[in-house]
Amino acid sequence: MNRTSKDVTVLVTGGTGFIAQYCILALLNLGYRVRTTVRSLTREAQVRAQLKTGGAEPGDRLSFVAADLASDEGWHEATAGCAYVMHGASPTPTGQQTSEDDWIGPAVQGNLRVQRVVLTSAFGAICAGHGPMKRPFNETDWSDLTNPDVWPYQKSKTLSEGAA
């Protein structure tokens, strides 16, 4: 059976994020059905409004599932029936969540919840904590996590990519 993009559902994690919304727009423009995760379904209207600003009004071609990187709940439902997963979700703690564990634990655990992923990382996974490079970065480069100037976000991206 030949499937077209309109028959294929792609899960994009972290639907409130900038990169996730860019991916959602691109997938919708290519005709895919998209499912996205949000920590709270109360964010659906906000995400739809932002996508509308980006030129998309997907209606029922876009669905939402509540799932949190720190919990197994919701992930089975989120991935069910999806041909592909684009995993870019990463915690951005605020308020009382300010320890490194609030950044790093969910980022690493979240990468291990799904078996086959396309992982979007960040430049922070390779660029932080060492001096300027005199060559292009490659897959052997990682941020130096022993450097005290490396921020929790950069640590979370480095460790979660390493775990994947």
Q: Active-site residue numbers?
A: 157
Asked if 89 and 69 touch (Cβ cutoff 8 Å), the reply is yes
The Cα–Cα gap between 74 and 31 comes to 25
